[in-house]
Amino acid sequence: MKEQQIFIGGVWRCGGGAPMQSIFPADGSVNATLNAASLSDLEEAVASGERAWRNPGWRNMLPHQRAQILHRVADLIEARLDELAQLQSRDNGKPLAETRGLVMSAAGTARYFAAACELLEGELPTPRQPHLLTFSRYEPLGVVAAITPWNSPIASEMQKVAPAIAAGNAVILKPAEATPLMALELARLFEQAGLPAGLLSVLPGKGSIIGDALARHPQVRKISFTGGTVTGRYLAHVAAEKLIPASLELGGKSPTIVLEDADIELAARGICYGIFSSGGQACIAGSRLFIQQQVYPVLMARLLELTRALRIGHPFAAGTHIGPLISAQHRQSVMEYVQLAQREGGTLLCGGEIPADPTLAAGSYFQPTIIEGLNNQTRVCQEEIFGPVLVAMPFSDEADLIRQANDSIYGLAAGIWTRDTGRALRLSEQLEAGTVWINTYKVFSVSTPFGGFKQSGLGREKGIQGLKAWMQQKSIYLATGNGMNHWCD
């Protein structure tokens, strides 16, 4: 496309770090070249953010005025829907049908937090003492760090930036090294919408260099990270050392449960979407499938039929279900897990290979894969693959099902398919997961908190709770009488 600049304190310029590239996973071509941010760029971004969020013009800006900026960003996103969707597809290879949805999701997120910041109220508790009034208010934290993944850039980036800005902070956004383009475009949108300079900087680069330095910077007052559990655990230690809050949305190995009374067609289609959309590159992907024994044969037959009919193709081709994985290196990792599953005793029912279509040879494509014959203790059932690989397991005993479903270090999401709503709700209470879908999967609402149990993370994004997570609460005591304190008499 062209050489890209990075955005530091309201200024577009060449980064001071090493050269880097954005690669189109569909054919290995170069989208853009740029220089990563340097540590001195990081220092400048933090200093600029510190000045900007303390500026009275920003700190005293009325909530509806901040909301106007977010609404303008949403308007700009919607006006450029197709252009932004194509850019997102080039950045990570997702089909246009998916990236259009992600772009519109980002616009909706901006509008939600625009409304939320106008509606946010303090609290007025009733003190148990006479002649005393107490109240509390929510105030910004200051300069905050948002570190985002490569699988859904514009959606996950707006999920952090919009509430952080609505809350009055200055944001340093560090996108994934593989997908810098959407974060930089987001900075252009906020700039066009009138966000004061310094309140948003975008610093592409290696996580081990820029991400680490950003998290450790003494003036950064919160870390919000979406990505792998190993990195998340490290960042939690950094936050603990600094005594600052951290929001961590990490890995998953989500169970999907099909009971004997489920609508087979509804379940098969939902399972297929839940694991194979995005090429399985989603933390909430339903990668472990537990099917009640009575319906195992019929459900598996329909699921295999649907999976074999999925269209693997170029992200820009009409009707494509599955585009390329993010890189050839990641595809190799997914393939090695499939080979491991076979060594562990699994039977490959479909997929497990690179597509034979010569028109796809230059991209990092991989077939949607279904494996059976494994138990939940195998590595393939315990480790996050982050690819289009589903392991199907029959069950007969409900208590054993819950034990197996919860037998994971992760607890991000789960799915239940049944016509019995009461039973579904009872099971959902026993599942150790931050989100449970019943007769649907992988649908979201920006007003509903999202996060994980166990090693799937800390804290919640979205909803009013997600706005308050970027703020700190201050309590104020006001004496309403003239009573004298006689302690020092």
Which residues are tagged catalytic?
249
Query: Which residue do the tokens 């789960």 mark?
Result: 414
User: Would you mind telling me the total number of residues written for the chain in this entry?
Assistant: 489
Distance CA 396, CA 290 (A): 10
C-alpha 259: how far from chain center: 29
Bridge pairing between strands 255-258 and 413-417: parallel
Could you tell me if 182 and 87 are in contact, meaning their C-beta atoms sit under 8 angstroms apart?
yes
Query: Which amino acid is present at 162?
Result: A
Nearest to 33 by CA among 216, 225, 219, 180: 180
The conformation of residue 386, written as its DSSP 8-state character, comes to -
Instruction: List the structure tokens of 385.
Output: 């693959």
- Name beta bridge partners: 394: 291
Nearest to 454 by CA among 436, 427, 432, 437: 432
- Name beta bridge partners: 288: 255, 391
Distance CA 242, CA 215 (A): 9
Q: Quick check: helix, strand or coil at residue 257?
A: strand
Percent helix, strand and coil across the chain, each to the nearest 5: 40, 20, 35
